[in-house]
Amino acid sequence: MLALFPLCAPHPHSPSGERRTGPADPRSRIRALLGACAVLPLLALPGCAGAPESAPTPTPAQEPETGSAASGEVRVDGAWIPEPATPDSTTAYFTVTNAAEADDALVAVESPVSGEVELGSTTETPSGASQMGVVEEIPVPGGGSTELRSGGFHLMVNDLSEPLAAGDAVTLTLTFESGSVLDVEAPVLERSAGPSSEDGGAEDHSGH
């Protein structure tokens, strides 16, 4: 039966007095292992370091809730009213979509909170100044839409019967040339909180 010896045990001397070739001195192996163990933590440092924390993704700003309504081929979306800068007047904005092939036009607006709602338009004079005025109608092309916004077509809600504040809702009754009539609830929002527009703000009709 063969006798098994540990690999690290020193080999006995041969009868002739010559030392057999075998594994290195166990003490040398221990010193080598200790040296390797001392190096391992240094090698592990880069792996132990956590990945840099990424900055949190900013949450996109949400558009505020606005009013919408439909009647026949006409639909209104994004209706809102900026909180009045003065107690007696404000404006109203929305988008009108006409699904019919024929052109249409908004010709009249009424509201229980206003003694008079006028159709308005802001134009640019040759000198580059903005000029606001009253128009008889606001056209809505067939198969298209018209946006009422600051700097363009809009409603002028005059002679307010009561103060309006953010959080209120105003009923607007819209009459179109085609005969369509619809009521839309337009929420009153802070002037800076309304849906985005090209010039980024509501028009001031305090001097109108």
Q: How many CA atoms lie within 13 A of 134 on its CB side?
A: 11
What is the CATH architecture of 67-189?
A: Sandwich (2.60)
Query: In Å, what is the CA distance from 117 to each residue of 108, 132, 139, 172?
Result: 8, 15, 17, 9
The torsion angles phi and psi of 136, rounded to 5 degrees, stand at: -80, -30
What count of other Cβ atoms lies within 10 Å of the Cβ of residue 189? 20
DSSP-assigned beta bridge partners for residue 173: 110, 183
> Which residues lie below 8 Å from residue 24, measured CB to CB, with a gap of 6+?
none
Give 144-167 pLDDT, tens digit per residue.
Answer: 999 999 999 999 999 999 999 999
Give 80-114 pLDDT, tens digit per residue.
Answer: 999 999 989 999 999 999 999 999 999 999 999 99
Flag whether pLDDT at 137 surpasses 90: yes
The domains of the chain are located at 67-189
Beta strands 74-82 and 181-189, pairing class: parallel
Between 94 and 42, residue with greater pLDDT = 94
Give 48-63 pLDDT, tens digit per residue.
Answer: 455 556 666 766 667 7
Whole-model pTM above 0.75? no
CA distance 105 to 109: 12
Give exposure, 163-182, as e/b (b: 16+ Cβ within 10 Å).
ebeeeeebebebebebebeb
